Structure formats: structure tokens, C-alpha cells
């Protein structure tokens, strides 16, 4: 085998190899552990020097598939609870394959009207699903972190303009530090975005009135007044430790009163808007200036996908357009001819809208509501099991899709609980039947499984409780 051109007639059989393996692999996910034994040695089969003489597509793909199907972390299965991780719905996965098949250049309308118009369509659909105003601009990003970069770059552009500076053209030099305020629920990715944007991750000021991170509105209001409202307020809708949220409406009132920019991190919490049972948590997001949402979490599209929604879409073009100070919309954008590479940090980019279109078309508003409500039920069920258990302690009310608790058998003194839970967390990750490690919450080492995978059912969290007990008995509490 030498030139790939020699293989031009073999594409279909190679793809069929993958398609044939997909069914059995996906069907194994509900019952197999999150990781298989011996994966380190297996991965070794793919390492070594660059081959001089290629093996050909069929052989290479077969090896990658055989090793990959065993050595991968099966995190798209129903019991990967350690981080907020979705699976890929059947339609989303197929849509993702189609993305690779069509291999579109999706940054420029001229290069792919299909990818561009589908991006516009899915952003419209998602605004509708989330109850965001249809007038908001938006862009598909690779992640929530990059959506923060997008929304906060728009905020930075607004803020610098208030100081008489076009930050896209002139940079930050000579400007004061941009004030960014949040509660103790703020996610590390917000700091990372500030770090990337040259604003400095440590400049973020947290206003919390307790060790759980609840926002101190009065203190934040004083700080806003001190900077004449020229600040960014970051509101958190769904935090990773407990699933708790800031009072979005109160923060929207505050931002509005002072003329500040409101940025909402709804990476997974934005899906609260999808069910009437939790929609109250998201109320006020429609008043934000920028909103971050993740796609590879509760939307259950494959990695990697996120969304940035920005009230003033011209801000996106100002922050990311290659032509500097073009603040006003180009007339050509009125007819759908958007160049999405001027709306976000990426230039060349994958047509991520295709799997999103496929999954939203396949399941619709009702399907997503049903899935979200099943997850609410699953989380509530786990919360109930924990509350009833004499050897477990619920550490925060269950509000969404995260349950924060620790193992606390009678007779073990408080000062030994962190170490016990840390050891238990390690044992659980090594065991692999149910994947949930620990976090630190209010000084306590705690579990905080998150349930957002479309495959997850109540049986999966019942198993979590069983396995924790079994492993704890094996570790002993003495």
C-alpha cells in the first residue's frame, strides 16, 4: 500500500466495518462496566514508531476498532456519573457520521450554505427550546468553555467601548482590569475563559454569603455601584457540585439596575427551562446579554459541541470579525448569508450543526422534555435512597440532575469521613461498574453524580448505592 489514491474503491467496505461494529458496541453499553480490565496494555498495540509502509485502510481501521472498543472509557454508557457527561442519541450519532461524510467547511456561507443554514436553524430551535428571545445572535462552539470565551469576548468588547477603546483593534493595554463578579457557584471554565481573553483568571471577584457559595447580592450591588455598572455579572444556572443555581432573576435585576453585562453559565442548567417542573430556575436568563450552553452534556450530542447566545449579535462580529471595527451588521447577513467564522473564535470549523439538527428533528421538544424529566426523576430517586439510608448523608437538596452526598456510616467520627469517602471514591472509579468520584463541598469530601445521559434509568442509580455499600464493606470503616 502506498498512495491513498490506490484505495479509492475501498471506502465503502471500510466504513461498513465500522457500521457493523457499531451495533454490538452500542448494545453492550447498558450492561458493561465503564472501563475494561487491561486497557493500558491494549492501548500499547496502537503505539510505536510511524510505519514507513502503510498497512492499508482495512487493516488500520480494524485494529483501531478492536482496540478502541475495549480500551475506550465507555463514558457514553448510562453509568458515567463522575462529570456532567451525556451520551450521543441515535440520531445525533448518525448525524455526526454524516458530518464526517460530507466534510463541510462550515465557517463560510460561500463554502457551505448547507452547514450555515443548518447552524442558523439549530440556533433558532435551541433559543425556542430554552425560552431565549429569537432576536439573540448565536454561534455553535466546541464547548462551554469556548462559549464562555465567545460571550465574554462580546462583553469585553462592550466594556472596552465604554472606556473609548476598540479592544479588537487596540487590545487591552492601557485599560483598567475588567470587573467580573460572580457567586461561589462559578465554574472553573469561566476563569479559564478570562485567562484566555487576557483579562486574568484571578480578577474574578466572588460575592458569597456562605460556604456553599450562595450569592451575596448586597455586596455585589455595592461593588457594581463602585464601578458605575461597567462590569460583567456571571450568573450560574446549574453548578457541578450540587446542581444548585444562582437566583437568576435577582441577578438580572441587579445587572439591569446598574447597566452591567449579564453572562449566564447554563452549561447543563439551561435545560431546566425544558420542563415546567424546573423552568422557574431558569427564569431571567432571557434578560441576559450572553448565555453559555453545552451540547455534549444534556443535549446528548457527541463531543464536542457548545453554544454561545448573545443578545446583541453585532457584538459577536465586532469581537470575532477579521475586519476590526465593523460594528454594524453587513447588509448581506440579512438573507442568511452568515459567515459563522466571524461569530466565534474558530475559523475553520466542523459542521457541528448536523448532529444537533438530527437529534432535535428526531425527538423534538416533547422528546427532550421527556428525557429531562426522566433525569429529574432519576436524580430524585437517588436523593430519596440516600436520605433513607442510615449510612449515607444528602448534603444539598436535589434540584436538577446532580445529587451531592457522602457515605456516613454510624459510629465513624466526622474527622475520618473525608478520608473514608476519598478512599471509597477511588475504589468506585477502579471498580468501574458505576463511575462516580468525589469532590470537595463545604470542606466535605462528597460524591456528586450527575445524570444527563439519555440511556440512564433509575436502575443505574440504584446500582450506584449498592456498589458503594459493597465497596465500603470491603474497605472496612475501622
The whole-angstrom separation of Cα 29 and Cα 74 is 7
Beta bridge partners of 290: 263, 310
Residue 115: burial class (beta carbons within 10 Å; 0-12, 13-18, 19+): buried
Residue 268 binds to ligand PLP (criterion: CB under 6 A): yes
Q: From the CB of 246, what's the least distance to ligand PLP, in Å?
A: 11
Cell of 469: 455499600
Answer whether 281's CB lies under 8 Å from 131's CB. no
- Whole-number minimum distance, CB 206 to ligand PLP, in Å? 15
Nearer to ligand PLP, 86 or 229 (CB): 86
Between 168 and 236, CB nearer to ligand PLP: 236
- Convert residues 50-89 into a mask of x (bound to ligand PLP by CB under 6 A) and - (unbound): ----------------------------------x-----
404-443: contacts with ligand PLP (CB under 6 A): none
Do 123 and 133 form a contact (C-beta atoms < 8 A)?
no
Kindly determine how many residues on this chain lie close enough to bind ligand PLP according to the rule CB under 6 A.
Answer: 13
Reported as type and span, the H/E element at residue 11 is: helix 11-28
Closest distance of CB 11 from ligand PLP, Å: 32
Q: 385: helix, coil or strand?
A: helix
Single out the segment in contact with ligand PLP by CB under 6 A; choices: 120-128, 261-269, 367-375, 436-444.
261-269
Query: Cβ 383 to ligand PLP, closest distance in Å?
Result: 19
Report the residue number, 187 or 230, with the smaller CB distance to ligand PLP.
Answer: 187
- Contact call for residues 444 and 396 (beta carbons, < 8 A): no
Under the binding rule (CB under 6 A), the answer on residue 129 touching ligand PLP is: no
Per CB under 6 A, does 99 bind ligand PLP? no
Residue whose C-alpha is closest to residue 25's, from 57, 83, 64, 58: 64
- In the complex with ligand PLP, the residue whose CB is nearer, 402 or 472, is 402
- Of 84 and 395, the one with the shorter C-beta distance to ligand PLP is 84
Query: In 3D, which of 86, 161, 212 has the Cα closest to residue 325?
Result: 161
With b meaning 16 or more CB within 10 Å and e meaning fewer, what string describes 323-362? eeeeeeeeeebeeeebbbbbbbbbeebbbbbbbbbbbbee
> Rounded CA gap, 83 and 79, in Å?
11
- 19 contacts: CB under 8 Å, gap ≥ 6: none
- For residue 240, the minimal CB distance to ligand PLP (Å) is 5
Determine how β-strand 204-206 pairs with β-strand 261-265.
unpaired
Using CA atoms, how far apart are residues 454 and 372, in angstroms rounded to an integer? Answer: 9
In the complex with ligand PLP, which residue's Cβ is closer, 130 or 407? 130
Nearer to ligand PLP, 89 or 143 (CB): 143
According to CB under 6 A, which residues from 175 to 204 bind ligand PLP?
187, 189
Binding mask 131-150 for ligand PLP (x = CB under 6 A): ------------xxx-----
Contact set with ligand PLP (CB under 6 A): 84, 143-145, 187, 189, 238, 240, 265, 267-268, 294, 306
Amino acid at each position: 500500500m502506498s498512495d491513498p489514491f490506490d484505495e479509492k474503491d475501498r471506502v465503502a467496505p471500510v466504513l461498513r466495518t465500522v457500521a457493523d461494529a457499531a451495533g454490538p458496541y452500542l448494545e453492550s453499553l447498558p450492561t458493561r462496566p465503564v472501563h475494561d480490565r487491561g486497557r493500558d496494555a491494549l492501548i500499547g498495540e496502537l503505539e510505536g514508531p510511524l510505519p514507513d509502509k502503510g498497512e492499508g485502510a482495512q487493516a488500520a481501521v480494524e485494529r483501531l476498532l478492536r482496540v478502541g472498543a475495549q480500551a475506550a472509557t465507555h463514558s457514553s454508557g448510562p453509568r458515567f456519573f463522575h462529570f456532567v457527561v451525556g451520551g450521543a442519541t441515535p440520531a445525533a450519532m448518525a448525524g455526526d457520521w454524516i458530518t464526517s461524510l460530507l466534510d463541510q467547511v462550515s465557517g463560510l456561507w460561500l463554502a457551505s450554505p448547507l452547514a450555515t443554514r443548518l447552524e442558523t436553524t439549530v440556533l433558532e430551535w435551541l433559543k425556542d427550546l430554552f425560552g431565549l428571545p429569537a432576536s439573540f445572535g448565536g454561534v455553535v462552539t466546541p464547548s462551554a468553555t469556548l462559549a464562555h470565551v465567545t460571550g465574554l469576548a462580546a462583553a469585553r468588547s462592550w466594556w472596552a467601548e465604554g472606556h473609548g477603546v476598540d479592544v479588537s483593534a487596540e487590545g487591552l493595554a492601557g485599560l483598567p482590569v475588567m470587573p467580573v463578579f460572580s457567586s461561589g457557584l462559578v465554574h472553573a471554565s469561566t476563569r479559564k475563559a478570562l485567562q484566555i481573553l487576557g483579562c486574568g483568571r484571578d480578577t474574578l471577584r466572588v460575592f458569597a454569603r456562605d460556604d456553599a457559595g450562595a450569592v451575596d447580592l448586597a455586596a455585589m450591588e455595592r461593588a457594581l455601584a463602585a464601578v458605575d455598572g461597567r462590569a460583567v455579572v456571571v450568573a450560574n444556572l446549574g453548578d457541578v457540585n450540587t446542581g444548585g443555581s444562582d437566583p437568576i432573576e435577582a441577578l438580572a435585576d441587579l445587572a439591569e439596575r446598574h447597566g452591567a453585562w449579564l453572562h449566564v453559565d447554563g452549561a447543563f442548567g439551561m435545560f431546566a427551562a425544558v420542563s415546567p417542573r424546573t423552568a422557574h430556575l431558569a427564569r431571567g436568563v432571557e434578560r441576559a446579554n450572553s448565555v453559555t450552553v453545552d451540547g455534549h452534556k444534556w443535549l446528548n450530542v457527541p463531543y464536542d459541541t457548545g453554544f454561545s447566545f448573545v443578545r446583541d449579535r453585532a457584538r459577536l462580529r465586532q469581537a470575532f470579525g477579521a475586519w476590526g471595527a465593523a460594528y454594524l451588521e453587513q447588509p448581506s447577513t440579512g438573507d442568511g448569508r452568515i459567515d459563522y467564522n466571524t461569530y466565534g473564535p474558530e475559523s475553520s470549523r466542523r459542521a457541528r450543526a448536523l448532529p444537533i439538527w438530527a437529534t432535535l428533528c428526531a425527538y423534538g421538544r416533547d422528546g427532550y422534555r421527556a428525557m429531562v424529566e426522566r433525569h429529574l426523576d432519576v436524580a430524585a430517586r437517588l436523593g430519596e435512597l440516600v436520605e433513607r439510608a442510615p449510612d449515607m448523608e444528602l448534603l444539598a437538596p436535589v434540584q436538577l440532575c446532580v445529587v451531592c452526598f457522602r457515605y456516613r456510616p454510624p459510629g465513624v467520627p466526622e474527622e475520618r469521613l473525608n478520608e473514608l469517602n476519598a478512599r471509597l471514591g477511588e475504589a468506585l472509579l477502579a471498580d468501574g461498574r458505576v463511575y462516580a468520584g468525589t469532590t470537595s463541598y463545604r470542606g466535605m469530601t462528597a460524591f456528586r453524580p450527575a445524570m444527563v445521559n439519555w440511556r440512564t434509568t433509575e436502575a443505574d442509580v440504584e446500582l450506584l448505592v449498592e456498589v458503594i455499600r459493597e465497596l465500603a464493606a470491603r474497605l472496612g470503616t475501622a
